Amino acid sequence: MIRRVLICCITFGLVACATQPHAPVTPPSSAGTPVKPATGPAEAVPEKKQDLPPVDLTPVPFETARANFVRDTAARYGIDPAYIEATLAQAQIREPIIAAMSRPAERVKPWNEYRPMFITQARIDGGRAFLAQHRDELMRVQERTGVPAEVIVSIIGVETSYGKNAGNHRVIDALYTLAFKYPRTGDPAKLEREVRRELFFRDELAKLFELAKLEQLDINTLKGSYAGAMGMGQFMPSSYLDFAVDGNGDGRRDLFNSYDDVFSSIANYFVKKGGWVRGGTVAVPATLAAGREEFNPVDWTPNHSMADLAARGYQPVVPVRAVGATATPITLEGSDGKQYWLGFQNYYAITRYNISKMYAMAVFQLSQAIAGKELPPA
């Protein structure tokens, strides 16, 4: 993911720091747990700006920053600093990761171009087969959490093609690279964001050490996306720590090999992070009265009543039966003109996995297709 990435020094040369092979490092004993591959260009996110603490833009030499990281991570999580140092000695600064993160943004694709990237007949058929294969586990999770099986399957389909493409980068290399060599554009106006992004990945690297300690993972063999997201659901280390759950009761949270854990963790993310409502609607198509202006709120929080939306010219095409339902209007550029939708709390929950209204709509519509429902034209 996303979380899904999803995501938060001076300009420096991109110096490759590949190390010589070392003997494997044995992890220390445990003291005792949704950006994800890129989903293609999406729309700018109209989220409310939060007040961020100031960040020091003074450049720090690589070796100093690295030594500070070892010291701080060891103290923060009670990990032997020698283990952290030995592990980082085997990590590599990867130029392909820097290049991927530096790649200029493509143009924003309209919905009628975006949807076909994710909703194909092969992905629908794959989702139906995956659901049939894991129906028992999925239905247990659906009953326990209220998150429909087809939505969980849709996330896995969009993120990793049902586990077939979970990433081939060593997570330690990806996070090490972005934690200490996040690319710089040289544009002073972008420096603060670049420093914050680097610090975000540095924190994720620290949390990777915590995760490996708690879950007894071999930190050197974990594979994921170029941004460090892992497993069938593409969780960053912080999301793994905060939202992964032990679905099969074996005492571990395994998002690589345990379907019970993967399904339970994705559902738990929706419930805990997104506020998923059991039995709630995700989104419904709507019309906008002729001559009325589109309403584009500053964020996607679904806090507009049906009466308020009706006053602005929006009407759902199908009845909304939930008493006191609130929603947010969604505008998509379709093949035959603009499409209007109303997104409810469960739509908002999907945007917490990857903050993109088109991503959320693609996940929703793929889930509908997997469930055998007819989709509207793109």
Render pLDDT for 170-182 as a digit per residue (tens, 0 to 9).
Answer: 999 999 999 999 9
The per-residue b/e assignment along 29-61, b for 16 or more CB within 10 angstroms, e otherwise, is eeeebbbbbebbebbeeeeeeeeeeeeeeeeee
β partners of residue 155: none
Query: What does each C-alpha distance from 368 to 19, 104, 124 come to in angstroms?
Result: 48, 33, 9
Mind listing the pLDDT tens digit for each residue in 92-133? 999 999 999 998 777 889 999 999 999 999 999 999 999 999
Query: What does residue 49 show for φ and ψ, rounded to 5 degrees?
Result: -70, 135
8 Å CB contact between 123 and 138: no
* Alpha carbons 11 and 69: distance in angstroms, whole number: 20
Catalytic residue among 137, 150, 159, 215: 159
Residue 177 lies in a domain: yes
Residue 172 lies in a domain: yes
Count of domains for the chain: 1
Both structure tokens of 213: 């300690």
Residue 205 lies in a domain: yes
CATH of the domain at 202: 1.10.8.350
In the predicted model, residues of the chain with pLDDT beneath 50 are: 2-42, 44-46
**Residue type at 47 in one-letter notation:** E
Both structure tokens of 182: 């996040």
Residue 196 lies in a domain: yes
Q: Supply the pLDDT for residue 298.
A: 85
Residue 170 lies in a domain: yes
Q: By residue range, what is the domain housing residue 200?
A: 62-107+166-274
% of the chain surpassing 70 pLDDT: 87
Q: Supply the pLDDT for residue 50.
A: 61
8 Å CB contact between 112 and 378: yes
Residue 325 lies in a domain: no
Residue 285 lies in a domain: no
Helices and strands: H and E segment counts in the chain: 14, 7
Residue 12 lies in a domain: no
Can 194 be counted among the known catalytic residues?
Answer: no
8 Å CB contact between 28 and 213: yes
